[in-house]
Amino acid sequence: MATGKRRPNREGSIWQRQDGRWTGASYVLTTSGVFKRAYVYGLTRDEVHGKLVRLQDESARGIPRPDRAWKVGEYLDYWLTEVAKPVVRVTTYAKYETMVRLYLRPGLGRHRLDRLTVATVQAFFNVRLAAGDSVAKVQVMRVVLGAALTRAMREELVPRNVARLATLPAAPSRDRRPWSPGEAGQFLQAARRNPLYAAFVFLLIYGLRRGEVLGLSWNDIDHDQGVIYVRRQIVRVGGQLHLGPVKTSAGVRELPLLGIARDALIQHESHQILGNRPNEWSRERLIFTTAGGRPVEPRNLARSFHRLVQRAGVRPIRLHDLRHTTASLLKRLAVDPKDAMVILGHSNIAVTLGIYTHGDEDSRRGALTRLDQLLTQARRTAANGQPNTAAAVTSAVTKANPENSGGS
């Protein structure tokens, strides 16, 4: 008959298995809110005892233990359906789903979620880079995996976000030089007879995104108040075109209807061809449509742009670089970055400043030329034994080059 005292409930027990290893077990709090029996294993009794004490301590502090062994692939599917899909835009969800289906689930799906390590994720990223995927593409994979693991942390399924602890090389920067005013004017002149001329005017003068310009409706144009309302965009999701909200809340903006835009719209309206039969897009009253009254495919807008660029004989740039051209022209006109941020629909002033501080070749040349003149004049002043104060040198440079007296 046993004479020792009975162990308190949930204290746990330790025993040695037939193969010599040790096992510990205790009832602990789980993520489902109930207490369940959990097991730990080790080579020695002391090792198992330490693990069991930590397990019980976490339970006592209200830190639950996962009550099921999620595989990474299973959890990604759950996260996509139950967490991401209800709250993100359809285009964002489509990108997430593609990354999970094509890359993350095949590469990491078989691993236990709670045993996923930095080394495992790092090796996966390295394999993708070695296979030829761009750094930018692998960065998207990390963003998606990191978002799912952040949710897993909130559900207390994993202790840390190993995706964010993995490292990737910096994406190579692309030095894209926007058009000068002369190049922009040359392009617009060549595009005047194109059915999408008004779209290119909007892209250049307002810096709209291509989805935003294709999502413009006649209801968004207020001729009486002289205002354009940017509210929606055309996007392709799952092989279909959709009209949805603009990219961010900052993208919702009111812009003045300027003369060149007004004239382009009047010209466009007089030549717009609508299909004889109404279709599901008729009620949207889109400004830019196909001959059948349907929305213009964003890729076709880009194709038209590149054909016109070739016809105009101007330096080739991407369609999206028209936004950078607008930003650079606003900078030339000394428009305050905060105003440019609103015009362009940026949600972060850092994005606008990044474009503003990316000076063009002419501005760099002008700045260094003025520095050359300043130092040359300072040397001459010193050689002549004249007062070499900053005010005196600057005054001499300004008198010699009055056109360069303004700011850069």
Whether residue 394 is found in the same domain as residue 330: no
**How many CB atoms sit inside 10 A of residue 381's CB?**
16
Question: In this structure, is residue 176 part of a structural domain?
Answer: no
- Which residues make beta-bridge pairs with 227? 222, 256
Radius of gyration (C-alpha) of the chain in whole angstroms: 32
Instruction: Give 274 or 155, the one with higher predicted confidence.
Output: 155
Lowest-confidence region among 198-212, 255-269, 382-396: 382-396
Question: What pLDDT score was predicted for residue 4?
Answer: 46
Whether residue 295 is found in the same domain as residue 344: yes
- Please check the confidence at residue 388 and state whether its pLDDT lies above 70: no
CA dist list (Å): 93 to 107, 155, 287: 20, 21, 28
Instruction: Give 128 or 40, the one with higher predicted confidence.
Output: 128
The predicted model gives 380-404 an average pLDDT of: 61
Question: In this structure, is residue 305 part of a structural domain?
Answer: yes
Nearest alpha carbon to residue 173 among 372, 382, 358, 367? 358
Alpha-carbon span 393 to 386, nearest angstrom: 10
Q: How confident is the model at residue 382 (pLDDT cuts 50, 70, 90)?
A: confident
**Overall number of domains in the chain:** 4
Q: How confident is the model at residue 406 (pLDDT cuts 50, 70, 90)?
A: very low
Structural domain boundaries, residue 343? 181-356
Question: In this structure, is residue 322 part of a structural domain?
Answer: yes
- Which residues make beta-bridge pairs with 228? 221, 255
Whether residue 24 is found in the same domain as residue 157: no
Whether residue 161 is found in the same domain as residue 102: yes
Question: In this structure, is residue 311 part of a structural domain?
Answer: yes
Question: In this structure, is residue 6 part of a structural domain?
Answer: no
Lowest-confidence region among 79-88, 250-259, 361-370: 361-370
Question: In this structure, is residue 348 part of a structural domain?
Answer: yes
User: DSSP alpha helices (H): ranges in 131-173?
Assistant: 135-154, 162-165
**Do the Cβ atoms of 367 and 374 come closer than 8 Å?**
no
Alpha-carbon span 10 to 280, nearest angstrom: 64
**Sequence-ordered list of residues with C-beta below 8 angstroms from that of 283, at least 6 positions apart, any chain:** none
Q: Is 293 exposed, middle or buried (0-12, 13-18, 19+ CB in 10 A)?
A: buried
Question: In this structure, is residue 257 part of a structural domain?
Answer: yes
Whether residue 222 is found in the same domain as residue 338: yes
Exposure of 294 in the CB half-sphere (CA atoms within 13 A)? 10
Question: What pLDDT score was predicted for residue 1?
Answer: 40
Whether residue 202 is found in the same domain as residue 341: yes
Whether residue 55 is found in the same domain as residue 79: no
User: What percent of the residues of the chain are helix, what percent strand, and what percent coil, each to the nearest 5?
Assistant: 55, 10, 35
Residue type, 71: K
Q: Is the pTM of this model over 0.85?
A: no
The predicted model gives 238-263 an average pLDDT of: 88
DSSP annotation string for 256-278: E--HHHHHHHHHHHHH----SS-
Whether residue 187 is found in the same domain as residue 254: yes
Question: What pLDDT score was predicted for residue 276?
Answer: 47
Mean of pLDDT over the chain:
85
- Please check the confidence at residue 280 and state whether its pLDDT lies above 80: no
User: DSSP alpha helices (H): ranges in 272-360?
Assistant: 298-312, 321-332, 337-344, 349-356
- Please check the confidence at residue 26 and state whether its pLDDT lies above 60: yes
pLDDT tens digits along 152-184: 988 878 889 999 999 999 877 666 788 999 999
Question: What pLDDT score was predicted for residue 3?
Answer: 47
The predicted model gives 125-152 an average pLDDT of: 96
CATH code for position 95: 1.10.150.130
Whether residue 212 is found in the same domain as residue 333: yes
Exposure of 17 in the CB half-sphere (CA atoms within 13 A)? 12
DSSP annotation of 173 reads: P
Report the percentage of the chain scoring pLDDT > 70.
86
Alpha-carbon span 370 to 35, nearest angstrom: 75
Question: What pLDDT score was predicted for residue 210?
Answer: 94
Lowest-confidence region among 143-152, 216-225, 248-257: 248-257
- Please check the confidence at residue 107 and state whether its pLDDT lies above 70: yes
Which of 113-127, 261-275, 385-399 is modeled with the greatest confidence? 113-127
Lowest-confidence region among 38-42, 136-140, 309-313: 38-42
Whether residue 23 is found in the same domain as residue 76: no
Residue reference for tokens 């691993």 = 111
Nearest alpha carbon to residue 390 among 381, 403, 399? 381
Alpha-carbon span 135 to 120, nearest angstrom: 18
Instruction: Give 32 or 181, the one with higher predicted confidence.
Output: 181
Q: How confident is the model at residue 369 (pLDDT cuts 50, 70, 90)?
A: confident
Instruction: Give 364 or 198, the one with higher predicted confidence.
Output: 198
- Which residues make beta-bridge pairs with 244? 233
CATH code for position 316: 1.10.443.10
Question: In this structure, is residue 204 part of a structural domain?
Answer: yes
Question: What pLDDT score was predicted for residue 405?
Answer: 47
Whether residue 319 is found in the same domain as residue 234: yes
pLDDT tens digits along 178-216: 899 999 999 999 999 999 999 999 999 999 999 999 999
Whether residue 77 is found in the same domain as residue 202: no
